[in-house]
Chains A and B, each alone.
Chain A
Amino acid sequence: VNAPGAVDVVRDGDWLVAAWHGEIDMTNAEALQRHTLGSMHNTDSGLTVDLTGVSYIDSVGIRSLLAIRRLLAARQQRLFVIVPERSVLEKALDLGGVPAVIPVYRSMATAREDR
């Protein structure tokens, strides 16, 4: 069973890491976006959204990621996304233009190196 969407936020120095879980659709994308942004500090350098635990995402979730990027860019904060190798999300994210505007990493370790 796929759990409904959920988010765990962890602070890692001056970065926030938000791990999204479950299926992301119109029932929960906005709440995930709000909760994730609400956990950021103005002084944070950036945010990593970890999609490793996500089993489904569609246009609503993709729009949430793009909205987060716009907001952070305006505040000069960075956004990374983690999408593991061979993730089923990859195609929708590609088509939605995510890798074109948000750096995508395969793992937390590689994302951390680039901060």
Chain B
Amino acid sequence: MAFVDETPSWAVSRVNDFLLHFDPGVMATLLIGLLAADGTMTYANAGHMPPLVVDPRGRARLFEEPGEPALGAVSSPRYRDRVLTLDTGSTLILYTDGLVERRGRSLEEGLEALRRAAETPWANLDMLCARLFGTEALEPKLADDLALLSLRIGSSPPAEEIHTTIEADPRELAPLRRLLRSWLARRGADDEQAQGVLVAVCEAAANSIEHAYGPGRGSIEIDAVESEGVFEIAIRDQGAWREPRGIGRGLGSSLMDALMDEVAVHTDEGGTSVTMRIRLRPST
């Protein structure tokens, strides 16, 4: 369906007509936006989740407008065109309801949780998406009903290095893996090599999560750099040395040692740092 000279509301209405005619009884939500070079986006929203915009200073805002009906719900609904402006350095996030709907939680709470997650500092869009997807355990049944699109105006190129902090919470491991996986791929690691690094890093991070902190919160810093084919990743916590590390995690430690060329562990009163190195490509 081409709509070169038409508006998003026109396009949404046509899709609605089409659906009512050819597939009666089917309902769907749709958001169509036209983004102009100056950063203004004209969009129409048929029952879809409100756009989320993170401004250049990192504040996130939901563009909640009075609801307009989902596609296939009523004949000839009046869809309106709305406009939002994306300044240079701001980020637009569009997503399906699977991302914010959870059993036992209102949609309002889900949207606020999403908004807050987007405000937690992130270094790049990979990391933002990882955060938004991974901050909680998702219902497995909803897993196919998840889509997330993020777009940055005047964005900087993907990070050359990773410097990030995660909560000492097992649920942070999956987003950390996604962040590392895309970084490793960009730096030329193949799937098998990447998997080895992911396991080694997550074993170290899991060790910090289990042993570094008592009940309550702590954080773990992860720094990853690559130079001439040598990948170096450091995992640091500030936990008290509560018990000798490695107890009950003998397999984790031997995996780390076997998967990396070199693993160094340093523990003092300031915490524990694990630095691991592996050559994955010949130097150029």
A residues adjacent to B (C-beta < 8 A): 1-6, 22-23, 25-28, 56-60, 62-63, 88-89, 91-92, 95-96
Contacts and interface: CB of A to CB of B under 8 A. Distances in A.
B254 interface: yes
B199 interface: yes
Interface residues of B, number: 31
Interface in B165-206: 170-171, 173-174, 177-178, 191-192, 194-196, 198-199, 202-203, 206
Q: Which 9 A-B pairs have the closest CB atoms?
A: A88-B195, A3-B143, A6-B140, A59-B252, A59-B251, A27-B170, A26-B170, A95-B258, A58-B199
15 contacts: A1-B133, A1-B143, A1-B146, A1-B178, A2-B174, A3-B138, A4-B174, A27-B174, A56-B177, A56-B199, A59-B199, A59-B255, A92-B196, A92-B199, A92-B255
Nearest to B200: A58
B222 to A, nearest CB: 15
A27 B136 CA distance: 11
Contacts of B174: 2, 4, 23, 25, 27
A89 B194 CA distance: 11
Given A4-B138, A91-B192, A92-B195, A25 B251 contact: no
Nearest to B248: A63
A27 B171 contact: yes
A26 B173 contact: yes
Given A3-B138, A6-B140, A58-B202, 17 more contacts: A4-B137, A4-B138, A4-B140, A5-B140, A6-B143, A22-B140, A25-B206, A26-B170, A26-B209, A26-B210, A27-B137, A56-B198, A58-B206, A60-B252, A88-B195, A92-B199, A95-B259
A91 B195 contact: yes
A89 B259 CA distance: 12
